[in-house]
A and B are shown apart, each in its own frame.
Chain A
Amino acid sequence: MDTKQFERGPDLPPPITEIGAIGWLRRNLFSSWLNSLLTVVVAYLLWLMLPPLIDWALISSDWTGTSREDCTSDGACWVFVSVRFNQFMYGFYPEAQQWRIDLIYGTLFLLMIPLFLKAFPWKTWLGGFIIFVYPFIAYGFLDGAWFGFEVIETTKWGGLSLTLILAGIGCVAALPLGILLALGRRATDMPIVKAVCVVFIEFWRGVPLITVLFMSSVMLPLFLPEGVTFDKLMRALIGITLFQSAYMAEVVRGGLQAIPKGQYEAADALGLGYWKKTALIIMPQALKIVIPGIVNTFIALIKDTTLVLIIGLFELLGMIQNALNDPNWLGFSTEGYAFTAMVFWIICFSLSRYSMHIERKLHTGHKR
């Protein structure tokens, strides 16, 4: 070896104040006097609020029993939830037939597992099946008529399973429709298509969901010919989908606007036609950019499904309110709403984390 060669210095550990718990505290909680003050104030507030909450919800609460007499301590009475749990999940779906719901959700869950496996080669096909075919199978299975089961009308469906049907189908149907609307709105060379899309989007964005639901259940039948009936759940789903697709369209349009002109030009120059360019080059990039916006819209929809209560569909919150009207369980609204909030929070939070996971996975190095 050449003796004059420059010696590489040893790697030193960083100063103790930069790493570990102490370093983290210094950097994040006590970096300035204002930050320190905020830390102290927030810690004090937490100390005031958390212990009573934990005490109410977990420590001096009752969990087991069959009636309100079993709630003896002064904390939360979760017995209310556990006694009614079946209804909160399945609504008025007859207990003897509830295996159908279990089977549908269980199958869905199993079908989705391969989507998370790296090595599974037919992800696109399976995803397509789950999105475009499975909802119809599920609907037929739960309704029963197509499969020769006991027919269970949609008015009997309810609880969390209905919430998930409304939100799931709403999302799945709204995304493709929203994509088409967004593309239509940008089709400057087709003024009529563009105008139709703009009017559609602005109309549905401008009316409250609650009005849409009212109109779908109260007004729509007025326009249908005598004797034609249209399932109430179906009407709600259509209303939700149209409403949601308008929002989705605007989210997607935001993504489209972020795609540089050069991407379109490169695709054009290679001879890709409009649909190939859109499907292979533009949409994958645009959708990736707007994943947070899409998930945000989905989360809003999941919570908005509670509005179907006003047209007489009893999803989770509806079932809870229904239970609260039971004379035997008057006065347990805090538990009921806390439980609902918790369930919704778990669903929405998981979705939000999942979207962050996808974002990280799709990240392909810094831009250009």
Chain B
Amino acid sequence: MSEQATHQQPAIDDVMIELRGMHKWYDKFHVLKDINLTVHKGERIVVCGPSGSGKSTMIRCINRLEEHQRGQIIVDGTELTGDLKHVEQIRKEVGMVFQHFNLFPHLTVLDNCTLAPIWVRKMPRREAEEVAMRYLEKVKIPEQANKYPGQLSGGQQQRVAIARSLCMNPRIMLFDEPTSALDPEMIKEVLDTMIELAETGMTMICVTHEMGFAKTVANRVIFMDAGEIVEENEPHEFFNNPQQDRTKLFLSQILGH
């Protein structure tokens, strides 16, 4: 481990996420090895890599759905430790969108969106509903507000999930393969929503294999393999001039067909 990992230094204003020498194990299995990553405010990072390389695990560490065992994770100036206060603080600021949407099936779309603002941010219901409707309009499904998630298509559900996260007014959004459970015709509507979100200047980390999205939206593409960040570059260089053999192999596989 590098010496600077232990070197306590307040994050610079404009750094939103900082991973320093972060390691994670599942029992004896070393999933993440010495991850170092700095994400600045408004940056949009796309993470790609083969299945099982630890992409999900890495972004799930950022809002502590998974616990890391070594190194530091600092989100918006708060370090993630066992301290529940810090965890709660960070989760308020970090929104997450999952591959399988994970909407709450027993609540209407509107209630899905207002639940956390009301119970976590203590927002009055009225106001929460107004905020929710605003975001549902942004993701273009205000007319579905009173339906249940089970009555929506996959693409609509994922857009609700994005709106639900945005209602908490997060400073960072994490996406874990948001389109890979969707039919092709629905992928576009979700990607369009994400592109619009990117245009608002949201800090985003996005695990995805949608290379078109990476090329148009990302500031940086990160390639992971076997628990390590193998290569990191701006999209044009990353796709046209990959440095590492593993990256080349991966790109040839996903772009080859």
Q: Which of A266, A281, A362, A366 has the most CB of B within 10 A?
A: A266
**Chain A residues in 8 Å Cβ range of B168:** 270-271
**Which of A262, A271, A285 touches B92 (beta carbons < 8 Å)?**
A271
**Chain B residues in 8 Å Cβ range of A288:** 106
Contact pattern, A 218-262, Cβ under 8 Å of B = 1, otherwise 0: 000000000000000000000000000000000000000000101
Q: How far is the CA of A263 from the CA of B94 in the complex (A)?
A: 17
Also in contact, A364 and B106, with CB within 8 A (given A262-B100, A265-B98, A269-B65): yes
Majority secondary structure, A binding face: helix
Would A265 and B151 count as touching, CB distance under 8 A?
A: no
Would A368 and B101 count as touching, CB distance under 8 A?
A: yes
Q: Spot the interface stretch: A141-149, A152-160, A272-280.
A: A272-280
**Chain B residues in 8 Å Cβ range of A260:** 102
Q: How far is the CA of A266 from the CA of B165 in the complex (A)?
A: 10
Would A365 and B150 count as touching, CB distance under 8 A?
A: yes
- Residue ID in chain A nearest B167 by CB atoms: A270
- Residue ID in chain B nearest A281 by CB atoms: B104
Also in contact, A273 and B105, with CB within 8 A (given A265-B98, A365-B151, A368-B100): no
Contact pattern, B 70-104, Cβ under 8 Å of A = 1, otherwise 0: 00000000000000000010011011101011111
- Does B195 count as interface, using CB distance less than 8 angstroms? no
Would B105 and A280 count as touching, CB distance under 8 A?
A: no
- Does A176 count as interface, using CB distance less than 8 angstroms? no
**Chain A residues in 8 Å Cβ range of B102:** 260, 262-263, 265-266
Chain B, interface size category, equals 20 to 34
**Chain A residues in 8 Å Cβ range of B119:** 272, 276, 280
**Chain A residues in 8 Å Cβ range of B157:** 368
Would B115 and A270 count as touching, CB distance under 8 A?
A: yes
Give residues 314-368 of A contacting B (CB, 8 Å). 362, 364-368
- Does A102 count as interface, using CB distance less than 8 angstroms? no
Q: How far is the CA of A262 from the CA of B104 in the complex (A)?
A: 10
Would A269 and B150 count as touching, CB distance under 8 A?
A: no
Would B65 and A284 count as touching, CB distance under 8 A?
A: no
Would A273 and B106 count as touching, CB distance under 8 A?
A: no
Chain A, interface size category, equals 20 to 34
Would B116 and A367 count as touching, CB distance under 8 A?
A: no
Also in contact, A266 and B104, with CB within 8 A (given A272-B116, A280-B115, A368-B150): yes
**Chain A residues in 8 Å Cβ range of B100:** 262, 368
- Does A55 count as interface, using CB distance less than 8 angstroms? no
Q: Which of B94, B104, B164 has the most CB of A within 10 A?
A: B104
Would A285 and B91 count as touching, CB distance under 8 A?
A: no
Q: How far is the CA of A266 from the CA of B161 in the complex (A)?
A: 9
- Does B213 count as interface, using CB distance less than 8 angstroms? no
- Does A202 count as interface, using CB distance less than 8 angstroms? no
Give residues 131-155 of B contacting A (CB, 8 Å). 147-151
- Does A268 count as interface, using CB distance less than 8 angstroms? yes
- Residue ID in chain B nearest A288 by CB atoms: B106
**Chain B residues in 8 Å Cβ range of A285:** 104-106
**Chain B residues in 8 Å Cβ range of A364:** 105-106, 148, 150-151
- Residue ID in chain B nearest A362 by CB atoms: B106
- Enumerate 9 A-B pairs (CB-CB under 8 Å) in ascending A order: A266-B96, A266-B98, A267-B104, A269-B165, A271-B92, A285-B106, A367-B150, A368-B101, A368-B150
Question: Lowest 4 CB-CB distances: which A-B pairs, in order?
Answer: A365-B150, A266-B102, A262-B102, A270-B116
- Can you add 15 more A-B contacts, CB < 8 Å, to A266-B104, A269-B65? A265-B98, A268-B65, A269-B96, A270-B91, A272-B115, A272-B120, A276-B120, A280-B115, A280-B119, A281-B115, A364-B105, A367-B150, A368-B100, A368-B103, A368-B157
